[in-house]
């Protein structure tokens, strides 16, 4: 009887209930700090949030009964922390973010229904590849420049960041491509100067992707995204072939490209100077990172509590872009080292579940897809957190599921849906 | 491929471990030094979380209190000055934009409760632990808010910048310190530019930072040096006339007046004969004159609980902004009548009057009467400090008698108060400037104490660039303020 209740979906439900507790207390804390009273109307945010995730849960019950029970609650936890802090910064932004989550769930449901059998995606690999290139090219051509980097396309009253979608599409394409060409890449027929090299037609897609990432770096001036794409590519090539030649070659090409970018674009050199010593210009170019570090330090071990950190002056945030790139700094302020480390461990747990699926999967495409998607998510989180903590130069990318932003939220829900589809396939009962 | 997946996961785990290590570094290791950095806005924010104590005048008027506001889930306190510019020179300001000035600066520790006795420390600790607002101590000044307002209005009425300092001779308690033009300390955070750009530099406290030639009021100091020398007495006679020869150009009496020949030292002070005091200066000599000035507190920063950067030193200035070594030779006959590069603050001249009124003993001026904890307990009541003896009791009594004659029959008759005897001295120091219609401009002075026999008030008044005289412009202000204080 009890054993029968221990299904994946029931476990997921229990986990979601645990997340709901955090959501209610988190929102409650912000309300109390804001208005000195908990209003019944204001708790509707928490209720809406919980309802959305329960809807996702029901979708999974109906479609992917055997999907991993931890991925959705982990994503819910990340979204919850993000939404609480966004609400804390500006309730109107939180309302928009709620809308993005709804859109994300629409895409989530569509993906889950369309790709219940995730292997169907493999046939679409070139479509995905072309779509990714079109999205990135469109950004480069139509994009508007923000902070020296061209990441956004304005459409109507909203801004779209196509790079976020391109990231997911790229993983699908690379997984399909590598699965098809794995053998020739790993054991090339021809040798050049004692090094095995596959035929150009097998190598060309790989080289063109490196090239695209470099173009992105130089032309679009977006160090963060190009680093992300490049790393996804290298990680997946390494997984597929195990050949350090490709990894080393890729790193070398990227290093040369980055050096060229530093020479060509003063913007990149500035970023590095700011990274080396932000306190040389604490009021101008170094302002953001200096304020970020002050905020993080202010959190101490246990934080100030939700809604009680020094985040706002009047109605402006102390750190510019606190709701997008610097959301981690705000979380570190209000939840301290305990919360910051906890958040990072949630990402790591997500990556762990994804990698675990990859190792359990029985075909190359699914393996590469699962590993690639979870690496993409984990590495993106790493790059932005390393940026705001001054471990690496700052690059403007979002913290997946946490940062404010429609493109980021919707794209990452797509990523989550794909991982869940993979897990449903991997965890299917024997004999079916 | 699974081995490589594991390796990739381990690399990822390592990267996240590095992030946690970095967070630990910032949040634990580097946190204290980051928190203490001057450009960290949290410093100001933390201070705003403390409910600063009030600043209250001796007659119970609140000069500074707080208005509360919600920010980031906490109550912060912004300073409010109900009396506006009335006491701005003394109280100063505590602001986000421009740091602090005045008593808000020097008594910041008491006002924030940071520097209290053991009992206060315990109260504060309990507040902090309970998450309650930390409340600072109230500071009660010796200032008389009513007389202070009267002084400000009187200065305003002259249409010229100026200052009034009144103190209690026996204790050094400052009763009035007014500087005109004044500024509204409520504007410092709201619109500091308007304060900075206002004409005639209202942020300058002319009572402590204004350096003026003291003119004839300095003859009190010269007379004191003469009497203290033991070689001259009030009846010592000097040659009269219109002018006398000196090291420099001839030195003449004001308005072409002819001094009787001979005339006595005491009469010369009553009628303010420059010619006689030039001779007294020569007779006393530079060394003894400088010694007497030092005894009155010249040449050093006045010891008072007021920001050093808001004070100037009284003394002999070689050129603008450079005080001279008093042992270098000066034109002593011109210094003796308060000229030749001699510049004093109104506070210094009030101290001269106070010392004579106090039987020759100079008290350190002070602003704070009591510090009271939020619960009403007395935290501290600073005692009166003696700087030292400026003149002998006998000299002080002699000078007081002569100064009373100045008001009774001499140049200071405008300071007479019915039923009260006032001792004073006028001064009209030529500035060398002229107004639009070519009339010469002077700094009009009056220093006084009252009642003569047992003074409760010593006062110095200066009005800048006046076309009138000390006896006509400054003396009536002194009279009104003394009347308000007694």
* Mean per-residue pLDDT, B16-26: 97
The pLDDT of residue A41:
57
The pLDDT of residue B245:
85
DSSP state at residue B55: E
* Mean per-residue pLDDT, B363-390: 93
Question: How many Cα atoms are found within 13 Å in the side-chain-facing hemisphere of B145?
Answer: 19
Which structural domain, as residue segments, surrounds residue B255? 145-370+387-485
C-beta of residue B72 within 8 angstroms of C-beta of residue A309: yes
pLDDT above 80: residue B102: yes
Catalytically annotated residue among B57, B142, B179, B216? B216
Instruction: Dump pLDDT digits (tens) for B291-325.
Output: 999 999 999 999 999 999 999 999 998 876 677 77
The answer as to whether B9 is a domain residue is no
User: Element (H or E) spanning A54, and its range?
Assistant: helix A44-63
Coil, strand or helix at B459: strand
Q: Which comes out higher in pLDDT, residue A300 or B190? A: A300
A182-187: long-range contacts, CB 8 A cutoff, minimum separation 24: A182/A240, A182/A241, A182/A364, A185/A237, A185/A240, A185/A241, A185/A243, A185/A246, A186/A240, A186/A241, A186/A242, A186/A243
CA dist list (Å): B118 to A39, B4, B53, B131: 42, 65, 18, 20
Asked if residue B454 and residue B314 are part of one domain, the reply reads: yes
Provide the b/e sequence for A221-237 (b: ≥16 CB within 10 Å).
bbbbbbbbbbbbbbbbb
* Mean per-residue pLDDT, B89-113: 88
Instruction: Dump pLDDT digits (tens) for A305-362.
Output: 888 888 887 778 888 889 999 999 999 999 999 999 999 999 999 999 999 999 999 8
What's the CATH number where B78 sits?
3.90.1310.10
Nearest Cα to Cα of residue A198 among A229, A241, A233, A230: A241
The pLDDT of residue B478:
93
Q: How far apart, in whole angstroms, are the C-alpha atoms of residue B483 and residue B480?
A: 5
CB proximity under 8 Å: A 213-242 to B = 235, 238-240, 242
Asked if residue B154 and residue B134 are part of one domain, the reply reads: no
Residues 6+ apart with CB under 8 A from B38: none
The answer as to whether B116 is a domain residue is yes
C-beta of residue A330 within 8 angstroms of C-beta of residue A324: no
* Mean per-residue pLDDT, A243-268: 79
Coil, strand or helix at B431: strand
Asked if residue B181 and residue B79 are part of one domain, the reply reads: no
**Which residue in chain A has the smallest CA separation from B72?**
A308
Residue A319 token pair: 């750190």
pLDDT above 90: residue B374: no
Find out whether the peptide bond into B262 is cis, omega within 30 degrees of 0: yes
Instruction: Dump pLDDT digits (tens) for A372-408.
Output: 999 999 999 999 999 999 999 888 889 999 999 999 9
Q: ipTM score of the complex? A: 0.94
Nearest Cα to Cα of residue A166 among A423, A420, A410, A368: A410
Asked if residue B169 and residue B136 are part of one domain, the reply reads: no
C-beta of residue B49 within 8 angstroms of C-beta of residue B57: no
Helices A223-241, B2-24: inter-axial angle, 10-degree rounding: 150
**Which residue in chain B has the smallest CA separation from A302?**
B27
DSSP string computed for A204-226: HHHHHHHHHHHHIIIII--HHHH
Q: How many domains does chain B have?
A: 2
- The least confident of A33-37, B102-106, B334-338, B345-349 is A33-37
pLDDT above 60: residue A1: no
Residue appearing with tokens 């005639």: B200
CA dihedral B16, B17, B19, B25 (to 10 degrees): 170
Residue B138 token pair: 């109230």
Asked if residue B150 and residue B101 are part of one domain, the reply reads: no
Residue B460 token pair: 């110095």
Coil, strand or helix at B367: coil
Within 8 A of A391 by CB-CB distance, chain B residues are 18-19, 22
C-beta of residue A344 within 8 angstroms of C-beta of residue A385: yes
DSSP string computed for A271-330: HHHHHH-GGGSTTTTTHHHHHHHHHHHHHTTT-S-TT-SS-EETTEESSTTTTTTTHHHH
CA-based torsion, A144, A149, A150, A152: positive or negative: negative
The pLDDT of residue A7:
86
Asked if residue B209 and residue B109 are part of one domain, the reply reads: no
The pLDDT of residue B422:
92
* Mean per-residue pLDDT, B398-411: 91
User: Which residues from B are below 8 Å from A when comparing CB atoms?
Assistant: 1-2, 4-6, 8-9, 12-13, 15-16, 18-20, 22-24, 26-28, 30-31, 34-35, 37, 39-42, 45, 70-74
Cross-chain CB nearest to B9 (options A293, A305, A352): A352
DSSP state at residue B96: S
The answer as to whether B169 is a domain residue is yes
**Which residue in chain B has the smallest CA separation from A89?**
B72
Q: What does residue A215 show for φ and ψ, rounded to 5 degrees?
A: -60, -40
Active site residue B216: yes
Q: Minimal Cα–Cα distance from B420 to chain A, Å?
A: 57
* Mean per-residue pLDDT, A127-154: 77
Boundary (domain end) residue, out of B88, B111, B141: B141
Find out whether the peptide bond into B86 is cis, omega within 30 degrees of 0: no
Cross-chain CB nearest to B26 (options A242, A282, A293): A293
Instruction: Dump pLDDT digits (tens) for A12-69.
Output: 999 999 998 888 888 888 887 876 555 655 678 888 889 999 999 999 999 998 999 9
User: Please, is B33 exposed, middle or buried when counting C-beta atoms within 10 Å of its C-beta (0-12, 13-18, 19+)?
Assistant: exposed
pLDDT above 80: residue B275: yes
The answer as to whether B26 is a domain residue is no
Provide the b/e sequence for A184-200 (b: ≥16 CB within 10 Å).
bbeebeeeeeeeeebee
Q: B26 vs A375: CB contact, 8 Å cut-off?
A: no
Instruction: Dump pLDDT digits (tens) for A320-333.
Output: 889 999 999 999 99
The pLDDT of residue A317:
87
Q: B19 vs A391: CB contact, 8 Å cut-off?
A: yes
pLDDT above 90: residue A214: no
The rounded Cα B423 to chain-centroid distance in angstroms is 22
Instruction: Dump pLDDT digits (tens) for B254-264.
Output: 878 888 889 99
Q: B23 vs A389: CB contact, 8 Å cut-off?
A: yes
The answer as to whether B102 is a domain residue is yes
Asked if residue B445 and residue B464 are part of one domain, the reply reads: yes
């Amino acid at each position: 009887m009890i054993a029968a209740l221990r299904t994946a979906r029931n476990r997921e439900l229990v986990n979601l209930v645990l997340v709901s507790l955090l959501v209610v207390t988190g929102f409650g804390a912000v309300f109390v700090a804001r208005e000195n009273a908990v209003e019944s109307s204001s708790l509707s945010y928490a209720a809406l949030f919980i309802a959305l995730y329960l809807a996702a849960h029901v979708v999974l019950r109906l479609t992917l009964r055997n999907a991993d029970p931890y991925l959705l609650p982990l994503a819910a936890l990340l979204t919850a922390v993000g939404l609480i802090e966004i609400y804390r910064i500006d309730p109107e932004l939180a309302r928009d973010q709620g809308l993005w989550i709804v859109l994300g769930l629409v895409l989530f449901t569509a993906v889950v229904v369309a790709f219940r059998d995730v292997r169907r995606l493999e046939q679409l690999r070139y479509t995905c590849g072309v779509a990714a290139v079109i999205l990135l090219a469109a950004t480069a051509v139509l994009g508007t420049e923000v902070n020296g980097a061209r990441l956004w396309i304005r459409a109507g009253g909203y801004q779209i960041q196509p790079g976020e979608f391109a990231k997911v599409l790229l993983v699908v394409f690379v997984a399909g491509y590598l699965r098809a060409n794995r053998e020739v890449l790993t054991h090339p027929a021809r040798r050049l100067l004692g090094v095995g090299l596959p035929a150009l037609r097998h190598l060309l897609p790989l080289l063109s992707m490196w090239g695209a990432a470099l173009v992105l770096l130089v032309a679009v001036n977006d160090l963060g995204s190009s680093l992300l794409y490049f790393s996804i590519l290298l990680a997946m090539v390494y997984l597929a072939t195990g050949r350090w030649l490709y990894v080393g070659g890729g790193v070398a090409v990227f290093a040369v490209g980055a050096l060229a970018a530093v020479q060509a674009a003063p913007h990149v050199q500035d970023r590095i100077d700011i990274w080396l010593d932000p306190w040389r210009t604490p009021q101008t170019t170094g302002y953001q990172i200096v304020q970020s570090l002050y905020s993080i330090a202010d959190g101490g071990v246990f934080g100030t509590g939700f809604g009680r950190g020094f985040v706002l002056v009047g109605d402006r945030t102390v750190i510019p872009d606190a709701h997008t790139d610097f959301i981690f700094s705000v979380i570190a302020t209000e939840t301290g080292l305990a919360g910051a480390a906890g958040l990072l461990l949630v990402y790591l747990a997500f990556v762990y579940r994804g990698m675990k699926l990859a190792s359990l999967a029985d075909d190359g495409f699914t393996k590469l897809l699962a590993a690639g998607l979870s690496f993409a998510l984990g590495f993106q989180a790493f790059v932005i957190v390393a940026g705001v903590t001054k471990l690496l130069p700052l690059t403007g990318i979002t913290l997946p599921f946490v940062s404010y932003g429609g493109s980021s939220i919707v794209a990452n829900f797509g990523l989550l849906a794909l991982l869940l589809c993979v897990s449903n396939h991997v965890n299917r009962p024997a004999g079916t | 491929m699974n081995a490589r997946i594991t390796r990739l996961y381990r690399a990822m785990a390592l990267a996240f471990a590095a992030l946690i290590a970095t967070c630990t570094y910032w949040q634990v290791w580097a946190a204290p030094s980051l928190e203490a950095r001057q450009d960290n806005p949290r410093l100001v924010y933390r201070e705003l979380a403390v409910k600063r104590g009030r600043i209250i005048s001796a007659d119970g008027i609140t000069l500074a209190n707080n208005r509360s506001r919600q920010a980031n889930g906490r109550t912060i306190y912004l300073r409010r000055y109900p009396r506006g510019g009335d006491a701005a020179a003394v109280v100063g300001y505590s602001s986000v934009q421009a740091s602090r000035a005045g008593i808000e600066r020097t008594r910041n520790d008491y006002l924030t409760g940071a520097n209290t006795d053991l009992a206060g420390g315990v109260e504060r600790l309990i507040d902090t632990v309970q998450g309650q607002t930390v409340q600072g101590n109230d500071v009660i000044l010796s200032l008389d808010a009513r007389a202070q307002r009267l002084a400000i209005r009187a200065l305003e009425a002259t249409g010229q910048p100026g200052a009034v300092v009144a103190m209690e001779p026996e204790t050094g308690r400052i009763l009035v310190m007014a500087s005109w033009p004044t500024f509204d300390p409520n504007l410092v955070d709201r619109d500091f530019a308007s304060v900075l750009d206002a004409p005639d530099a209202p942020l300058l406290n002319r009572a402590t930072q204004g350096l003026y030639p003291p003119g004839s009021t300095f003859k009190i100091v010269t007379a004191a040096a003469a009497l203290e020398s033991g070689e001259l007495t009030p009846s010592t006679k000097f040659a009269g006339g219109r002018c006398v020869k000196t090291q420099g150009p001839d030195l003449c009496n004001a308005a072409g007046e002819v001094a009787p020949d001979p005339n006595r030292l005491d009469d010369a002070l009553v009628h303010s004969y420059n010619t006689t005091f030039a001779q007294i200066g020569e007779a006393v000599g530079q060394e003894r004159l400088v010694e007497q000035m030092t005894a009155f507190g010249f040449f050093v920063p006045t010891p008072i609980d007021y920001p050093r950067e808001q004070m100037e030193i009284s003394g002999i200035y070689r050129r603008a902004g450079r005080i001279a070594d008093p042992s270098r030779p000066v034109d002593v006959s011109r210094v003796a009548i308060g000229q030749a590069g001699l510049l004093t603050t109104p506070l210094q001249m009030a101290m001269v009057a106070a010392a004579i009124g106090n039987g020759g003993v100079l008290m350190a001026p002070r602003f704070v009467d009591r510090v009271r904890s939020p619960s009403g307990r007395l935290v501290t009541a600073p005692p009166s400090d003696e700087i030292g003896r400026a003149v002998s009791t006998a000299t002080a009594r002699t000078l007081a008698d002569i100064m009373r004659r100045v008001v009774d029959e001499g140049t200071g008759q405008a300071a007479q108060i019915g039923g009260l005897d006032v001792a004073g001295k006028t001064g009209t120091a030529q500035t060398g400037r002229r107004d639009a219609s070519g009339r010469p401009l002077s700094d009009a002075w009056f220093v006084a104490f009252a009642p003569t026999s047992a003074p409760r008030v010593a006062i110095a008044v200066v009005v800048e660039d006046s076309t009138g005289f000390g006896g006509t412009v400054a003396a009536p202000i002194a009279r009104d303020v003394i009347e308000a204080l007694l």
